Amino acid sequence: MEDVIAALDPLVGVVLIVGVLTWVAVRRRYLIQPDGALVAGVVLVVLAAEMRRPYVPELLGVERTGVEELVKHVLLVAGCLCLATYVPALNRGRRVDYVRLAITVVVGVAVLVVCFWLNGPWEPIDLTLQAGGRWGMIPYWTVLYGSVVLAAARFVHACLRGRRYVPRRRRWGADTAIVGACLAVLWALLSALQVNSSWTLPAVTPEFDAALDLLVVFSTGLVVVGIGGHLAHGALERRANRTQLARFHGRLMELVPEARLAAPGTRVADYHRDVEISDVLSSLRRHSSRADRHSLRRVAPWSVSARRMLRVELAADRRMEDLVPGDPERWRWAANDRALAKAGRYLGSARYPQALERVLAPAPDLDPELGSDPDRSPPSDGGA
């Protein structure tokens, strides 16, 4: 088991570092102010985890003196405080006060250094094996394990609060990360129990240490898989939505070319696209008719999203004929990016051209029989 842990631990660290760097590279245009705390926190925690490996002193070319235990704990406290600051800032849409964060980290590190110095000397082995009877180390362990519990608790709280806003198919990532964070809390509590001066079961210590190492590996792995899966799934979904919105946007620009703005820069391209879509739909709303939706329900019953696209086409035809109905329909769905993306998907559908031909081939005269229930809304599909 120890061999497995020794093999998995560096691998998890490498995956974390590579994942964070890849995430920063991919999202370089969309990084927000609190993301710096996330990157710093993850990197520091990974470095702290790697300090536990026996090959670190060999790489540094120094003998084990016990100071590397202090360095490991300093990195862990600094990383956890960064993560504990990042999570609520992201959840509440606030900026990270990096000056206050730096002061907090300095105070926490100072407590560790002072307690380590006052309670020495130390042997070049794990500090938890030397903790018995050293009551002056209580602030040390409080800061160390308290920072881990604080970061994990805030992370779990944020995931649980945001869980109801995430589609069911994407909740597995957050749920997996929650389990990993709970295991991290369990590790902190058991480690705090181990360093208690009343711990008097030396025969169980090797197995207990192995269990703690296993908790670290599993908690870190689950958090990595959960966060990585959640971000990757969201990124793929956003990419697909951008493709569908681009298709929908291109069709609208064909229908109302005068709504196109000047060529935007890359940083504001998405903003220009949203403005142009909003302008065109605002114009076409004035040329739509309530009775159209009932006609479309009969002609194209196979998709609400396709009926939306056909409604856009009908409104564009009416606009070309300068026909403005007296009671234009409100398109509530047009304010929902997800609904627009679904509508854009049907521009590439094999069934859409046939349905479009069936709808637009006859003159867009309204059948009075189709207006028997004018107040009935079409089925909901992403905010309709």
The predicted pLDDT at position 366 comes to: 42
Q: What is the pLDDT of residues 238-252, one digit of tens each?
A: 788 888 888 888 888
The residue type at 202: P
Q: What is the pLDDT of residues 284-331, one digit of tens each?
A: 888 887 777 667 766 666 677 788 888 888 888 888 887 777 667 677
CB neighbour burial string for 219-237, b if at least 16 within 10 angstroms, e if fewer: bbbbbbbbbbbbbebeeee
Q: In Å, how far from its chain's centre is CA 111?
A: 33
CB-CB contact of 44 with 86 (8 Å): no
**Residue 60 — pLDDT band, cuts 50, 70, 90?**
low
Could you give the 3-state DSSP secondary structure of residue 325?
coil
Count the neighbouring beta carbons within 10 Å of the beta carbon of residue 255: 17
Q: What is the pLDDT of residues 108-150, one digit of tens each?
A: 999 999 998 888 787 777 777 777 677 788 899 889 989 989 9
Q: C-alpha distances in angstroms, 174 versus 74, 161, 180, 224? A: 28, 11, 10, 11
The predicted pLDDT at position 78 comes to: 93
Q: Is residue 7 pLDDT above 70, yes or no?
A: no
CB contact set of 45 (below 8 Å; sequence gap of 6+): 16, 75, 76, 79, 80, 83
Over residues 79-108, the mean pLDDT reads 86
Helix (H) and strand (E) counts in the chain? 13, 0
Over residues 337-352, the mean pLDDT reads 82
CB contact set of 77 (below 8 Å; sequence gap of 6+): 105, 108, 109, 112, 143, 144, 147
The model's pTM is 0.65
Q: Is residue 364 pLDDT above 50, yes or no?
A: no
